[in-house]
A = this chain, B = another copy of it.
Amino acid sequence: MDAAEFRRCGKEMVDYVADYLENIEKRQVYPDVEPGYLRSLIPEEAPEEAESYEDVVKDIERVIMPGVTHWHSPYFYAYFPTANSFPAMLADMLCGAIGCIGFSWGTASEATLIALLAARSKVVKLIQADHPDRSETDIISKLVAYSSDQAHSSVERAGLIGGVRMKKIPTDKKFSVRGDALKKVIEMDKAAGLIPFFFCATLGTTPSCAFDCITELGPICNAEKIWMHIDAAYAGSAFICPEFRPLLNGIEFADSFNFNPHKWLLVNFDCSAMCSYVISHLISLQHWQIPLGRRFRALKMWFVFRMYGLKGLQAYIRKHVGLAKEFESLVRADQRFEISADVVMGLICFRLKGSNELNETLLKRINSARKIHLVPCQLAGKFVLRFAVCARTTESRHVQEAWCHISHLASELLQELPH
């Protein structure tokens, strides 16, 4: 394929992509296939001779699409959003052509690990300054890191990889870590000869979008020389709107902060931003970063920031929050259901009043119907349905339709129960 052919095929691909995204809601959001379906559709080995672009393109619908979960469908309400926007796609085309090595972005999981490793290295150096005879491995074996019991699994994994103890701090009724709870554990651990060194606070937890109380936690961490890292993977994007800034109060106590523009800021996956508040931290963060090379991801942010403008991005966040409020009202108006956690951003946690089993059955029926896609969570022992406003193309009518569908399936389910 030469440049002339790329001009022709590239323009066809632009049309394919535009068609795909314009008509995405006509596709079934969740695939019917089983893992391994691909094996019978493709040859065992790569072809000897080159095939044409047309050969490959006709297989996209035959081979690839049947296995795709359409994350950008307005019927996708699972996990958290994964961004998708036209400006980011244009930037990615340019990024692929330049193909040079860009700046230092990774995923949020990486950011947590990097912060933990930098904190580990810092505390080892601090202790060795006073006790030059203590070995690094000895110090590491006494370290303890903390996070919320609602924190993402990647936080626990960062502890595993770093070879340090990791403890979960119990949360309050709103699923937030409070100062007292952290203080209690720190004191117990210090009394047992352990060295607390790292706390990963979450702003916008994965299960319920809860916010740890960093105004209480920050001063404790600072006083105890504990590195406070803030994981705002999802909610961080919303802080471009002034009305959400109060949730950032206490940020001045943090040592490092991470959020994912690829979640909720229209910058296509993957793009995660990390910053640190002390120059020497920045240096150690770079040192601990895992991949050596990186795509030029800043290009996507630049296109998106400029072509949406701050106002456009704020409008986008607010639209999603508005749709979430709309869905919340629908749930609240239905006496059979309850809301399981405060709705602050684009996530609604809800359930039928009744047993976990009942709610598990409801979710199973929702997902088997393939019209919309949701995932559950556990909150205080209860099985809860998560409705996350995800797609750029989600409008009020989709949310209304999704609710009608859920409500209808709930009615069917409740009618089957013995009275």
Q: A3-B21, A46-B313 are in contact. List 7 more A-B contacts (CB 8 A).
A: A1-B87, A50-B312, A56-B303, A56-B306, A60-B94, A84-B96, A106-B290
Q: Which of A72, A90, A268 has the most CB of B within 10 A?
A: A90
A309, CB-defined interface residue at 8 Å: yes
Q: Across the A-B interface, give the 10 residue pairs with the lowest CB-CB distance, nearest first.
A: A10-B14, A137-B141, A50-B309, A107-B291, A46-B305, A17-B97, A6-B86, A1-B86, A3-B18, A163-B163
A246 is an interface residue with CB less than 8 A from chain B: no
The answer to whether B295 touches A270, judged by C-beta atoms less than 8 angstroms apart, is: yes
- A88 in the interface (beta carbon within 8 A): yes
Q: Is A134 an interface residue (CB 8 A)?
A: no
- Assess whether A71 is in contact with B94, with CB atoms less than 8 Å apart: no
Contacts of A268 in B (CB 8 A): 96, 99
- Residues 5-45 of A, flagged 1 when their CB comes within 8 A of B and 0 if not, give 11101110111111011100000000000000000000001
**Chain B residues near A113 (CB, 8 Å)?**
290
User: Is A308's beta carbon under 8 Å from chain B?
Assistant: yes
Chain B residue with minimal CB distance to A158?
A: B290
> Contact: A53 with B90, CB < 8 Å?
yes
Q: Residues of A at under 8 Å CB distance from B?
A: 1-7, 9-11, 13-18, 20-22, 45-53, 55-56, 60, 64, 68-72, 82-90, 92-94, 96-101, 106-110, 113, 117, 135-138, 140-141, 153-154, 161-163, 268-270, 288, 290-295, 299, 302-303, 305-313
Contacts of A110 in B (CB 8 A): 290-291
Q: Give chain B nearest CB distance to A312 CB in angstroms.
A: 5
Contact partner of A311 among B15, B48, B64, B270, CB < 8 A? B48
Q: How far is the CA of A269 from the CA of B108 in the complex (A)?
A: 20
**What's the nearest-Cβ distance from chain B to residue A223, in Å?**
27
| Chain B residues closer than 8 Å to A89, beta-carbon distance | 6, 10, 93, 96-97
Query: Which B residue's beta carbon lies closest to that of A23?
Result: B3
Shortest Cβ distance from residue A123 to the other chain B in the assembled complex, whole angstroms: 13
Residue numbers in B under 8 Å from A6 (CB-CB): 14, 17-18, 86, 89-90
CB distance from A148 to the nearest CB of B (A): 17
Q: How far is the CA of A298 from the CA of B20 in the complex (A)?
A: 20
Interchain nearest-CB distance for A40 vs B (Å): 16
Alpha-carbon separation in the docked complex, A18 to B113 (Å): 39
Bound complex: CA A4 to CA B294 (Å):
31
Q: How far is the CA of A312 from the CA of B1 in the complex (A)?
A: 11
* 14 A-B pairs whose Cβ atoms sit less than 8 Å apart in the complex: A1-B87, A5-B86, A6-B90, A7-B14, A10-B17, A13-B90, A50-B312, A51-B306, A70-B98, A70-B100, A82-B293, A96-B268, A161-B162, A161-B290
Alpha-carbon distance between A299 and B13 when the two chains are bound, in angstroms: 14
**Most-contacted residue by chain B among A6, A15, A52, A83 (CB, 10 A):** A6
**Complex: chain B residue closest to A76, CB-CB:** B100
A153 closest partner in B (C-beta): B292
Q: Which residues of B contact A86 (CB under 8 A)?
A: 1-3, 5-6, 9-10
- Tell me if A18 and B14 are in contact (CB < 8 A): no
